[in-house]
């Protein structure tokens, strides 16, 4: 059984979903279960909604008609992350209903929220978290924690959306005791910080090096289902301080502290700093190899069940696909109009 990841993977610094799928593809390639040609694969892994590549929705139609097994990796809900675009969530649910034979959620939180939003259940469902490239994000050459020195905090974000935690980072920029702490932000920010050191997006290798020089990772992103940035930090051996939202507590487990607002974040940072070894020793993460095996096992279960079953697989109708493409186009037009209006304002 061979798997193809039907996603436009980009090289260099990019969003968390791209980075994970790139790492997953590499792991599949190393274990000889990956098929570069989508036409020759047995199982197609489709990701959420193909922003900017809506043609992939049409392509799924021909793949499904030829008997390919479609797995759907669900994100979001998008509307909770962005505080808009409910139409995208409903498009994702339509894609899942029309094409998918198996649904993969990135966290239990994401699964529960999507169901609450009205997503119908699938026959085959799994919760499988993400993991970064182990050759890059690991504890090799991790700097030792020095309690008597300045404690180094770090935060990262590819997106500059304010919901990625920038209100909290701005608060830290004004209220953190910079005689005791230093803080670095890496990525794209809508705010120019006064005290926090700012670095532009960088390669995974350079990012890992920066993480290994830090002591504590901080994330305040809202409604993040399975933060790759958080996982990268944990895999590099950093205890964390996370916002009590999304999948953060689920991923962190006992390797740090959870904060609720500006009112308690400084104390939670101090708690981790004062009990550093306790929190660092509690880090427990699944390797990329573990995650790839879970993906393969899930896919193989569906593959073998189909072979055993006398039932023919369901084929989407032209009407189903036309409805999806029409809804997708309507959302795209609406988004462009909203963007133009915002620019005029």
The CATH number that applies at residue 19 is 3.40.50
pLDDT (tens digit, 9 = 90+) per residue, 199-234? 999 999 999 999 999 999 999 999 999 999 999 999
Residue with tokens 């239990």: 108
Tell me which of 31-40, 87-96, 287-296, 304-313 is least confident: 304-313
Q: Which residue, of 232, 247, 281, is where some domain finishes?
A: 281
- Rounded to 5 degrees, φ, ψ at 217 are -100, 135
pLDDT (tens digit, 9 = 90+) per residue, 179-200? 999 999 999 999 999 999 999 9
CA dihedral 170, 256, 206, 291 (to 10 degrees): -130
**Residues in the chain, overall count:** 345
- How many Å apart are CA 3 and CA 31, to the nearest integer? 11
As given in the structure block, the two tokens for residue 73 are 């990796």
For residue 192, with 0-12 CB atoms within 10 Å meaning exposed, 13-18 middle and 19 or more buried, which class applies?
exposed
For residue 151, with 0-12 CB atoms within 10 Å meaning exposed, 13-18 middle and 19 or more buried, which class applies?
buried
- How many Å apart are CA 252 and CA 258, to the nearest integer? 9
What pLDDT does residue 16 have? 82
Q: Are residues 115 and 175 in the same domain?
A: no
Q: pTM of the predicted model, to two decimals?
A: 0.89
The answer to the question of residue 139 being in a domain is: no
Number of domains in the chain: 2
List of long-range contacts for 195-201, beta carbons under 8 Å, 24+ apart:
196/169, 196/172, 201/13, 201/158
As given in the structure block, the two tokens for residue 258 are 């959870």
Residue 312 has pLDDT above 70, yes or no: no
- How many Å apart are CA 18 and CA 11, to the nearest integer? 9
Average pLDDT, the chain: 92
- How many Å apart are CA 282 and CA 22, to the nearest integer? 28
As given in the structure block, the two tokens for residue 135 are 């050759």
Q: Are residues 202 and 293 in the same domain?
A: no
Find the domain containing 155 and state its range. 151-281
Residue 104 CA: distances (Å) to CA of 48, 95, 161: 10, 13, 26
Phi-psi region of 164 (alpha: psi -120 to 50; beta: other; left: phi over 0): alpha
Q: Which residue, of 234, 258, 281, is where some domain finishes?
A: 281
Q: Which residue, of 265, 281, 297, is where some domain finishes?
A: 281
């Amino acid at each position: 059984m061979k798997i193809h990841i039907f996603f436009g993977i980009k090289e260099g610094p990019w969003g968390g979903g791209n980075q994970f799928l790139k790492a997953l593809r590499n792991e599949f390639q190393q274990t000889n279960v990956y098929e570069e040609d989508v036409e020759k694969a047995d199982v197609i892994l489709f990701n959420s909604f193909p922003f900017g590549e809506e043609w992939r929705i049409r392509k799924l139609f021909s793949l499904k008609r030829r008997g390919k097994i479609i797995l759907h990796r669900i994100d979001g809900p998008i509307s909770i992350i962005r505080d808009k675009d409910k139409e995208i969530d409903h498009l994702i649910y339509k894609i899942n209903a029309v094409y998918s034979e198996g649904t993969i959620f990135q966290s239990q939180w994401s699964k529960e929220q999507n169901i609450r939003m009205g997503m119908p259940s699938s026959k085959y469902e799994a919760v499988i978290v993400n993991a970064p490239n182990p050759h890059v994000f690991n504890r090799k050459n991790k700097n030792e924690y020095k309690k008597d020195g300045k404690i180094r905090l770090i935060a990262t974000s590819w997106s500059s959306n304010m919901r990625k935690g920038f209100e909290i980072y701005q608060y830290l920029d004004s209220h953190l005791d910079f005689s005791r702490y230093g803080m670095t932000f890496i990525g794209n920010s809508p705010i120019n910080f006064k005290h926090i050191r700012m670095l532009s997006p960088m390669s995974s290798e350079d990012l890992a090096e920066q993480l290994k020089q830090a002591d504590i990772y901080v994330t305040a992103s809202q409604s993040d289902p399975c933060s790759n940035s958080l996982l990268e930090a944990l895999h590099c051996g950093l205890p964390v301080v996370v916002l009590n939202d999304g999948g953060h507590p689920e991923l962190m487990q006992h390797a740090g502290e959870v904060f609720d607002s500006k009112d308690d974040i400084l104390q939670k940072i101090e708690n981790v700093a004062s009990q550093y070894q306790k929190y660092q020793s509690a880090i427990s993460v699944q390797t990329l190899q573990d995650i790839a095996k879970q993906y393969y096992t899930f896919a193989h279960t569906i593959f073998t069940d189909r072979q055993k079953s006398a039932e023919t697989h369901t084929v989407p109708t032209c009407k189903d696909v036309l409805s999806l493409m029409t809804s997708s186009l309507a959302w795209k037009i609406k988004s462009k109009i909203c963007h133009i209006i915002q620019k005029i304002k």
